[in-house]
Amino acid sequence: MSKIIKNPLALCGLIIIFIILILALFASVIAPYDPNYININSILLGPSTHHIMGTDGLGRDVFSRMLFGAQISLLVGFVAVGISTAIGIILGSIAGFYRGWVDSIIMRFVDIMLSIPTFFLILAVIAFLTPSIWNIMIVIGLTSWMGVTRLVRAEFLSLRRREYILASETMGASDFNIITKHLLPNSITPIIVSSVLGIASAVLVESGLSFLGLGVQAPTASWGNILTDGKEYIQFAWWLSLFPGLAILITVLGYNLLGEGLRDLLDPKNK
C-alpha cells in the first residue's frame, strides 16, 4: 500500500475506484429516491436541490438511478473479468507448460478468436440470447479471455526452464503442483494488471450493449440505458447524457490509471 501511495497514477486510480465502490455499495442508503419511482409531476426537471442530477422522461431521479447503475456496471465488470481470467489462466497454463502440439492448438484457437472483433462477436451471441445481466456477464467473460491466455503462456514459457522448476520435476512433483505452487505465483503480476484493465473494458462493453438495448433491460438502471433515455432529449435535457457519460469516463479512467500504476510498481525492471 505504501508503494501505491507513492505512485501518483496508482493512487489517483485507487481513490476514484474507492469512491465509486462506496457509492455503489451504499446506493440504497445514499439514494434520495427509489430509482424506479415514476413521478409524472417531475418529468425532465433540470438539476436542482431536490434532484441534483435532474429527472428523466418518466420523472425518475437521475442521481438515484446513477447510484444503482454503478452497482450493475461494477458487478458486470468484476464477474466478467473473473470468468475471462479463470479461462485465460487455465488455457495459458496448459499451453505454456506442455508446449508442443497442445500449445499449437490452443494458440491457433486464440488467434482465431482475436481475428474476430470482440464487440461484434458479443453482439452476435447476445442476439440469440435473452437480454439479461447474467447473460451479459457470461458472454463478455467468454469472449475476453484471449489476452490473459497469451500473458500466462508467455510467463510460463520464460519460467519453464528455471532451475527451481527443473529441480521440482526431478524430485517427482506433479504437473499440477508445479503449476500452482511455482509457475502461477511467479506469473501473477501481468495477471493482476490485465484483470484491472479488463474491468474497465467490461464496463465499456456493458454500457455499449445497454445503450443499444441489448444489455440491462428497463426498468433496471445502468449507465448505458440512462444514456439511451438521454439521446431522445439531448437538445433540452443535457443532464441525461452528461452524467452517465462522465460516470463511464471516470470509472474507466480510474481502472486504467490503477492498472498502469500497478504495472509500473510490479515491473521488476523498475525496481
- Is residue 1 predicted with pLDDT exceeding 60? no
- Is residue 188 predicted with pLDDT exceeding 90? no
Sign of the Cα pseudo-torsion (224, 73, 142, 9, in order): positive
Nearest to 259 by CA among 204, 186, 198: 198
pLDDT at 135: 84
pLDDT at 46: 87
What average pLDDT does the structure give for the chain?
86
The mean pLDDT of 241-260, rounded to a whole number, is 91
Kindly list the domain boundaries of the chain, sorted by start residue.
2-30+59-79+117-144+169-270
Grid coordinates given for 269: 525492471
pLDDT at 170: 79
pLDDT at 22: 93
**pLDDT tens-digit map of 140-166:** 898 889 999 999 999 888 887 787 777
Owner of C-alpha cell 499440477: 176
pLDDT at 2: 61
Q: Would you list the DSSP string of 193-246?
A: HHHHHHHHHHHHHHHHHHHTTSSSPTTS--HHHHHHHHHTTTTT-THHHHHHHH
The rounded distance, in Å, linking the Cα atoms of 139 and 126 is: 7
pLDDT at 244: 92
**Lowest-confidence pick of 79-83, 146-150, 230-234:** 230-234
Q: Greater confidence, 94 or 175?
A: 94
pLDDT at 105: 93
